[in-house]
Amino acid sequence: MAKTKRQFPSPRDLAPFLKFKRFEFNATTRRLNGAFTIEDLRNIAKRRTPQAPFDYTDGGADGEVTMNRARDVFRQIEWRPRILRDVSSIDLSTKTLGLNMELPFGIAPTGFTRLMQTEGEIAGAQSAQEAGIPFCLSTMGTRSIEEVSDAAPKGHNWFQLYMWTDRDKSMALIERAKAAGFEVLVLTVDVPVAGDRLRDKRNGMTIPPTLTPRTIINAIPRPAWWMNLLTTEPLKFSSLDSWNGTVAELLDNMFDPTVSFKDLAWIVRQWDGPVVVKGVQTVEDAVLCVKAGASAVQLSNHGGRQLDRAPVPFEVLPQVVAEIGMDAEVYLDGGIMHGADIVASIAAGAKLTFIGKAYLFGLMSGGRPGVDKAIDILRGQMTRTMRLLGVNEIAELEPALLTHLAKRPERLR
């Protein structure tokens, strides 16, 4: 057997292997440069955020069955890629409700957002404006309608409404959103009462945060979060009065459990523009929403944070699209943590998708740059997935591109 000839490497030969990565002095940039997935951002967020606000973002209701099923459903997708297509140019833009969007996803409404990171909704709205996607401000937001409008005057700003027992206050919010130039009203309908969010109960999740010995001990290794909280303006709900109690108690005291489809029709008339109904979980209710005047329905189980063991939106999507797709647009949220999840949702019939946890993980990881990073990660994953599928633009995505393994006929042995 021939022996391999060896020699001592010269400095010139070693030079290509001895190039060191340039050190990044900005700590936020350095952190975010190491994140390649939304899960990476989640891990950074967990290290930097006290347990109570992190768990509020990360958790679900009861046993968190629904929340976990939503992720499992996307893992069960099998692609059917096309080959020998020119995919040198990928177009991720789309149009919804007559509005041009650069990407087929938006930022979902999230409550208590400045508790996660002090830049809160302003960071989300400005990132969305730059990316050309919708930003939906929650009734439970910690920045006001006017503040968001001023921060992102050219953005696709949407307003999410909970109907309160005090109808006059609800209508006042609608008028303010209309005056501030918000494009779309999103009525959330799956919160007649708060879901049983056990993580929040165990953490004593209150607004403002409850300072218990456990809270303080948990916060010791996270001084930046406390510094931001204590040296910026006090945390408050910008659309409602102050509250001292748990999140669940607030929801139960505020929200109107008597809201009906008649109320939906009335709200559509009050807004006099596109209305999206968020929280639809059955075909039958989707049909009733369209009959009441909704421009779009958003299939959502509140990220698994309300009724545990509720339907998973992705699994309901094909039937809803088949039933109302000619009359209204269909959106989807829940479980989206990868650009491929968005591609699959659009291929299965959704017009638009929304991210909640993925956005907040970016926010907690690095404020506005962290939100930009989350959007960039999803954009890159979408682009790569579409290229590998042999698809050039959003309009080419169709159900034939994917199979759901759990529903696929058993293969012959």
Convert the pLDDT of each residue in 198-244 to its tens digit: 888 888 776 566 666 777 777 778 888 878 888 888 777 766 655 55
**pLDDT tens for each residue of 138-173:** 998 999 999 999 999 999 999 999 888 778 888 899
List the end-to-end C-alpha distance of the chain, in Å, as a whole number.
Answer: 45
Instruction: List the chain domain ranges.
Output: 28-407
Q: Does the CA dihedral 218-43-107-323 come out positive or negative?
A: negative
- The predicted pLDDT at position 337 comes to 97
**Stretch (H or E) spanning 333:** strand 329-333
* Contact status, residue 92 vs residue 395, Cβ threshold 8 Å: no
Q: At 408, is the secondary structure helix, strand, or coil?
A: coil
Query: In sequence order, what DSSP letters do the residues of 305-366 get, joined into one string?
Result: TSSTTPPPHHHHHHHHHHHHTTTSEEEEESS--SHHHHHHHHHTT-SEEEESHHHHHHHHHH
- The predicted pLDDT at position 242 comes to 52
- The predicted pLDDT at position 198 comes to 83
Burial of residue 3 (CB within 10 Å: 0-12, 13-18, 19+) is exposed
Q: Which fold has domain 28-407?
A: TIM Barrel (3.20.20)
Q: What is the mean pLDDT of the chain?
A: 89
**Stretch (H or E) spanning 399:** none
Catalytic residue positions?
302
Amino acid at 141: G
**pLDDT tens for each residue of 334-368:** 999 999 999 999 999 999 999 999 999 999 999 99
β-partners of residue 299 are 280, 332
β-partners of residue 354 are 106, 333
Residue indicated by tokens 């938006």: 106
**pLDDT tens for each residue of 37-81:** 999 999 999 999 998 889 999 998 888 899 999 999 999 999 999
Residue 413's pLDDT band (cuts 50, 70, 90) = very low
Total residues found in the chain within this entry: 413
Reading the block at residue 368, the tokens are: 């506005």
Reading the block at residue 44, the tokens are: 């950074």
